[in-house]
Amino acid sequence: MGKERKRVLSGIQATGNLHIGNYIGALRQFIGLQDGYDCHFFVADLHAITVPQDPKEYASRIRNAVNIHLACGLDPDKITLFRQSDVPAHAELAWLLNTIATMGELKRMTQFKDKAGGKAEASLGVGLFDYPVLMAADILLYQADLVPVGEDQKQHIELTRDLAERFNRRFGKTFRVPKPMIPKLGARVMGLDDPSAKMSKSAETEGSRIELTDPEDVVRRKVSRAVTDSGSDITSGKDKPAVSNLLTIMSTLSGDGVPTLEKRFSGKGYKEFKEALADVIVTTLRPIQRTLEELEGNPSYVDEVLEKGAAKARPEAEKTLAAAKSAMGL
Ligand code: AQP
């Protein structure tokens, strides 16, 4: 009998076009895990409506996020890939967990503070505030051992662990307490226009991110306009946040270590470095974009993948939900 594989779970929001930060911090990790772990990945369409979405475009955004997962190399025969809203247990467990989460702990979430963007608290959506509890429900429903995410999600995983432990203490052991899985390099890819801000789908300036669907000329233009630091050395370090970020992107995508790249570009100018970086990004994106085009031409295949994924995820989620309700006396 083989050893039972550990359960991995992660989701990506359908908030906009996925970018190389999402790829380096999350999707690339997912691909490396699909052979050795029991992987569940989902498109977090219930999370994405915590910020306004145009209903006319939303279905195609969700579909695009699913297609990107597949185009990046996730194999639906090896993993369970589904849409969050296809499994109603996510919202129901979130409600149960809401009854043990506190306002104080949710108010401490830095992502909430960032997304609130200084707006008056009274005008902020309850969904945005409650986002981490829904995320806890996503993870705990599937009794996940490991959650591969970028650095920005670490605090939410810590909250998930707290809620699981609190629930287990109060109502009896129901949930496995998960651990985050954060890559050593590339866990926080920064904006190309501002190395102090995380590369993000919802940042207003498109030049801040490279989207996975960006055509070659757009990639080259964005890279050529990426900000650099004072001085001309292509080296990584605290005093060189912009060049460090570019080196991280190049290193994670090319597989060459940062010291190797520093050596290669020693004495060379930013122009040459940026051209080489653009080449690496274009080479990474080309096969993804080719597969994406094929998937767009074959919607019934993607429908089938999603139906199969939901059919697998639903009973697993319902089992945990039933245990949680029973533990609470419901
Ligand atoms: N800049 C980043 N560097 C490394 N990893 C990142 N991730 C996001 N941005 C970076 C990781 O990608 C996964 C999916 O993220 P998400 O869609 O759940 O939402 P997010 O973390 O809020 O990502 P974005 O791109 O900033 O989206 P918006 O603008 O919609 O909020 C997660 O594992 C995340 O850590």
Q: Which atom of ligand 1 is nearest to the CA of 201?
A: 29
CA 319 to the chain's CA centroid: 26
Give domain limits for the chain. Answer: 7-187+299-327, 206-293
Whole-number Å distance, alpha carbon 163 to ligand 1 midpoint, is 22
- Alpha helix ranges (H) inside 117-268: 126-141, 154-171, 216-225, 241-254, 258-264
Q: Residue 317: CB within 6 Å of ligand 1? A: no
From residue 15, alpha-carbon distances to 50, 62, 168, 195, 214 in Å are 10, 8, 33, 22, 17
Residue 267 CB neighbours (<10 A): 7
DSSP classification of residue 9:
E
What is the torsional sign of CA 206, 217, 235, 256?
Answer: positive
CATH for the 206-293 domain, from 1.10.240.10, 1.10.3210.10, 3.40.190.10, 2.60.40.2550: 1.10.240.10
Q: What is the architecture, at CATH level 2, of domain 7-187+299-327?
A: 3-Layer(aba) Sandwich (3.40)
Distance CA(208)–CA(186), nearest Å, equals 16
Q: Residue 199: CB within 6 Å of ligand 1? A: yes
Q: Residue 15: CB within 6 Å of ligand 1? A: yes
Mutational pocket test of ligand 1: of 147, 153, 209, the residue with most ligand atoms within 8 Å of the beta carbon? 153
Whole-number Å distance, alpha carbon 194 to ligand 1 midpoint, is 16
- The pTM of the full predicted model, rounded to 2 decimals, is 0.94
Q: What is the 3-state secondary structure (H, E, C) of 29-77?
A: HHHHHCCCCEEEEEEEHHHHCCCCCCHHHHHHHHHHHHHHHHHCCCCCC
Active site residue 201: yes
Going residue by residue through the chain (330 aa), what tens digit of pLDDT does each one get? 457 899 999 999 988 789 999 999 999 999 999 999 999 999 999 999 999 999 999 999 999 999 999 999 999 999 999 999 999 999 999 999 999 999 999 999 999 888 887 788 888 899 999 999 999 999 999 999 999 999 999 999 999 999 999 999 999 999 999 999 999 999 999 999 999 999 998 888 989 999 999 999 999 999 999 999 998 999 999 999 999 999 999 999 999 999 999 999 999 999 999 999 999 999 999 999 999 999 999 999 999 999 999 999 999 999 999 999 999 999
Q: Which of 78, 154, 201, 319 is catalytic?
A: 201
Q: Residue 136: CB within 6 Å of ligand 1? A: no
